Amino acid sequence: MASEQGFCLWFTGLSGSGKTTITTHLVKELRRRGSKLEVLDGDIVRENLSKGLGFSKEDRDTNIRRIAFVADLLSRNDVPVITAAISPYREIRDEARKKMGDRFIEIYAQAPLEVCEERDVKGLYAKARSGEIKEFTGISDPYEAPLNPEMSIETEGRTPEECAAEIVANLEKLGFLSPVAEEAIV
Protein backbone atom coordinates (compact mmCIF):
# COMPACT_ATOMS: atom_id res chain seq x y z
CA MET A 1 0.00 0.00 0.00
CA ALA A 2 1.24 3.51 -0.75
CA SER A 3 2.49 5.53 2.19
CA GLU A 4 -0.20 7.85 3.46
CA GLN A 5 1.82 10.83 4.49
CA GLY A 6 4.96 12.64 3.51
CA PHE A 7 8.14 12.14 5.46
CA CYS A 8 11.81 12.87 5.07
CA LEU A 9 14.37 10.18 5.78
CA TRP A 10 17.39 12.33 6.48
CA PHE A 11 20.59 10.28 6.33
CA THR A 12 23.71 11.61 7.94
CA GLY A 13 27.07 9.90 8.22
CA LEU A 14 30.65 9.85 7.06
CA SER A 15 31.59 9.39 3.43
CA GLY A 16 31.44 5.66 2.78
CA SER A 17 29.16 4.98 5.73
CA GLY A 18 26.50 3.61 3.36
CA LYS A 19 23.94 6.40 2.85
CA THR A 20 23.66 6.05 -0.93
CA THR A 21 23.82 2.26 -0.93
CA ILE A 22 21.08 1.86 1.67
CA THR A 23 19.00 4.50 -0.11
CA THR A 24 19.09 2.44 -3.31
CA HIS A 25 17.64 -0.53 -1.44
CA LEU A 26 15.03 1.61 0.31
CA VAL A 27 13.90 3.08 -2.99
CA LYS A 28 13.41 -0.39 -4.38
CA GLU A 29 11.34 -1.51 -1.43
CA LEU A 30 9.24 1.66 -1.11
CA ARG A 31 8.48 1.70 -4.84
CA ARG A 32 7.53 -1.97 -4.63
CA ARG A 33 4.97 -0.92 -2.05
CA GLY A 34 3.60 1.67 -4.45
CA SER A 35 4.99 4.67 -2.62
CA LYS A 36 5.74 7.95 -4.32
CA LEU A 37 9.32 8.86 -3.58
CA GLU A 38 12.08 11.31 -4.38
CA VAL A 39 15.78 11.12 -3.54
CA LEU A 40 18.17 13.97 -2.90
CA ASP A 41 21.59 12.36 -2.95
CA GLY A 42 24.53 14.56 -1.94
CA ASP A 43 26.57 13.83 -5.07
CA ILE A 44 23.67 14.50 -7.44
CA VAL A 45 22.62 17.67 -5.63
CA ARG A 46 26.17 18.99 -5.89
CA GLU A 47 26.09 18.38 -9.65
CA ASN A 48 22.84 20.29 -10.05
CA LEU A 49 21.10 22.32 -7.37
CA SER A 50 24.37 23.16 -5.63
CA LYS A 51 26.75 23.16 -8.59
CA GLY A 52 29.65 25.49 -7.89
CA LEU A 53 29.54 25.21 -4.13
CA GLY A 54 32.69 24.06 -2.35
CA PHE A 55 33.35 22.48 1.01
CA SER A 56 33.86 25.46 3.31
CA LYS A 57 31.53 25.53 6.31
CA GLU A 58 29.50 28.24 4.60
CA ASP A 59 29.11 26.32 1.34
CA ARG A 60 28.34 23.07 3.13
CA ASP A 61 25.63 24.84 5.13
CA THR A 62 24.16 26.39 2.00
CA ASN A 63 24.11 22.98 0.32
CA ILE A 64 22.31 21.36 3.24
CA ARG A 65 19.83 24.23 3.55
CA ARG A 66 18.94 23.81 -0.12
CA ILE A 67 18.40 20.09 0.37
CA ALA A 68 16.20 20.81 3.39
CA PHE A 69 14.23 23.38 1.41
CA VAL A 70 13.39 20.93 -1.37
CA ALA A 71 12.80 18.06 1.06
CA ASP A 72 10.29 20.24 2.89
CA LEU A 73 8.46 21.21 -0.32
CA LEU A 74 8.09 17.58 -1.30
CA SER A 75 7.31 16.03 2.05
CA ARG A 76 4.69 18.62 2.96
CA ASN A 77 2.90 17.60 -0.24
CA ASP A 78 2.98 13.97 0.86
CA VAL A 79 5.88 12.93 -1.32
CA PRO A 80 8.28 10.92 0.81
CA VAL A 81 11.89 12.05 0.41
CA ILE A 82 15.20 10.43 1.19
CA THR A 83 18.19 12.73 1.57
CA ALA A 84 21.63 11.16 1.46
CA ALA A 85 24.28 13.78 2.11
CA ILE A 86 26.98 13.76 4.77
CA SER A 87 25.35 16.78 6.45
CA PRO A 88 28.16 17.06 9.00
CA TYR A 89 26.84 19.89 11.16
CA ARG A 90 24.30 19.24 13.89
CA GLU A 91 23.00 22.80 13.92
CA ILE A 92 22.03 22.75 10.25
CA ARG A 93 20.45 19.30 10.54
CA ASP A 94 18.45 20.67 13.45
CA GLU A 95 17.28 23.54 11.26
CA ALA A 96 15.98 20.96 8.79
CA ARG A 97 14.31 19.11 11.65
CA LYS A 98 12.61 22.31 12.81
CA LYS A 99 11.39 23.07 9.30
CA MET A 100 9.87 19.61 8.77
CA GLY A 101 8.75 18.85 12.31
CA ASP A 102 7.24 15.40 12.70
CA ARG A 103 7.99 14.57 9.07
CA PHE A 104 11.73 14.61 9.77
CA ILE A 105 13.36 11.27 10.53
CA GLU A 106 17.08 11.44 11.12
CA ILE A 107 19.00 8.25 10.28
CA TYR A 108 22.57 7.99 11.42
CA ALA A 109 24.47 5.71 9.02
CA GLN A 110 27.07 4.58 11.46
CA ALA A 111 30.43 3.01 10.69
CA PRO A 112 33.79 3.71 12.29
CA LEU A 113 36.04 6.07 10.35
CA GLU A 114 38.58 3.24 9.86
CA VAL A 115 35.89 1.12 8.18
CA CYS A 116 34.80 3.96 5.88
CA GLU A 117 38.41 4.63 5.05
CA GLU A 118 39.05 0.97 4.36
CA ARG A 119 36.03 0.90 2.00
CA ASP A 120 37.21 4.09 0.30
CA VAL A 121 34.55 3.67 -2.38
CA LYS A 122 35.52 6.82 -4.28
CA GLY A 123 39.22 6.90 -3.43
CA LEU A 124 38.67 10.15 -1.59
CA TYR A 125 40.10 9.10 1.79
CA ALA A 126 43.45 8.36 0.13
CA LYS A 127 43.39 11.79 -1.48
CA ALA A 128 42.43 13.41 1.84
CA ARG A 129 45.30 11.64 3.63
CA SER A 130 47.78 12.73 0.98
CA GLY A 131 46.52 16.30 1.26
CA GLU A 132 45.27 16.37 -2.33
CA ILE A 133 41.76 17.03 -0.99
CA LYS A 134 41.38 19.59 1.75
CA GLU A 135 38.41 19.90 4.12
CA PHE A 136 37.50 16.22 4.00
CA THR A 137 34.92 15.19 6.59
CA GLY A 138 36.35 12.96 9.29
CA ILE A 139 39.96 13.64 8.26
CA SER A 140 40.46 17.37 8.02
CA ASP A 141 36.94 18.66 8.57
CA PRO A 142 34.49 18.02 11.41
CA TYR A 143 31.70 15.49 11.58
CA GLU A 144 29.17 16.04 14.35
CA ALA A 145 27.33 12.78 15.02
CA PRO A 146 23.63 13.08 15.87
CA LEU A 147 22.86 13.04 19.59
CA ASN A 148 19.37 11.67 19.39
CA PRO A 149 18.55 10.39 15.89
CA GLU A 150 15.26 8.62 15.22
CA MET A 151 17.32 5.70 13.89
CA SER A 152 20.92 4.72 14.26
CA ILE A 153 21.93 2.09 11.71
CA GLU A 154 25.21 0.23 12.09
CA THR A 155 26.56 -0.66 8.66
CA GLU A 156 29.72 -2.49 9.70
CA GLY A 157 29.47 -6.27 9.38
CA ARG A 158 25.93 -6.16 7.97
CA THR A 159 24.52 -6.13 4.48
CA PRO A 160 22.87 -3.04 3.02
CA GLU A 161 19.73 -5.16 2.61
CA GLU A 162 19.62 -5.84 6.35
CA CYS A 163 20.04 -2.15 7.09
CA ALA A 164 17.27 -1.18 4.67
CA ALA A 165 14.96 -3.83 6.14
CA GLU A 166 15.56 -2.45 9.64
CA ILE A 167 14.64 1.05 8.47
CA VAL A 168 11.47 -0.18 6.75
CA ALA A 169 10.46 -2.04 9.91
CA ASN A 170 11.05 1.10 11.97
CA LEU A 171 8.97 3.16 9.55
CA GLU A 172 6.14 0.70 9.98
CA LYS A 173 6.46 0.96 13.77
CA LEU A 174 6.43 4.74 13.56
CA GLY A 175 3.28 4.61 11.42
CA PHE A 176 4.83 6.13 8.29
CA LEU A 177 4.37 2.93 6.31
CA SER A 178 1.62 0.36 6.41
CA PRO A 179 2.90 -3.14 7.09
CA VAL A 180 2.61 -5.48 4.13
CA ALA A 181 1.42 -9.02 4.50
CA GLU A 182 4.15 -10.70 2.54
CA GLU A 183 7.85 -10.71 3.38
CA ALA A 184 9.56 -7.49 2.32
CA ILE A 185 12.13 -7.86 -0.42
CA VAL A 186 14.78 -5.18 -0.15
Stretch of residues binding ligand ATP (CB under 6 A), selected from 55-63, 69-77, 116-124, 174-182: 116-124
Give the C-alpha separation, 57 to 137, whole Å: 11
Residue placing its CB nearer to ligand ATP in the complex, 52 or 157? 157
Binding mask 51-90 for ligand ATP (x = CB under 6 A): ---------------------------------x-x----
Segment 159-178, which members bind ligand ATP (CB under 6 A)? 159-160, 163
Q: Is 35 a catalytic residue?
A: no
Among 1, 4, 28, 43, binds ligand ATP (CB under 6 A): 43
3-state class (DSSP) for residue 67: helix
Stretch of residues binding ligand ATP (CB under 6 A), selected from 17-25, 66-74, 97-105, 166-174: 17-25
Give the list of residues 6+ apart from residue 98 with CB closer than 8 angstroms, or none. Answer: none
Give the C-alpha separation, 86 to 83, whole Å: 9
Segment 2-61, which members bind Mg ion (CB under 5 A)? 19-20
Question: By CB under 6 A, is residue 20 in contact with ligand ATP?
Answer: yes
Give the list of residues 6+ apart from residue 6 with CB closer than 8 angstroms, or none. Answer: 74, 75, 76, 77, 78, 79, 80, 81, 103
Query: CA–CA distance from 6 to each of 72, 96, 117 (Å)?
Result: 9, 15, 34
Give the C-alpha separation, 71 to 126, whole Å: 32
With CB atoms as reference, the residue minimizing the distance to ligand ATP is 18
Give the C-alpha separation, 44 to 125, whole Å: 20
Stretch of residues binding ligand ATP (CB under 6 A), selected from 28-36, 52-60, 74-82, 118-126: 118-126
Among 21, 83, 87, 110, binds ligand ATP (CB under 6 A): 21
- The catalytic site residues sit at 87
Q: Which residues bind Mg ion (CB under 5 A)?
A: 19-20
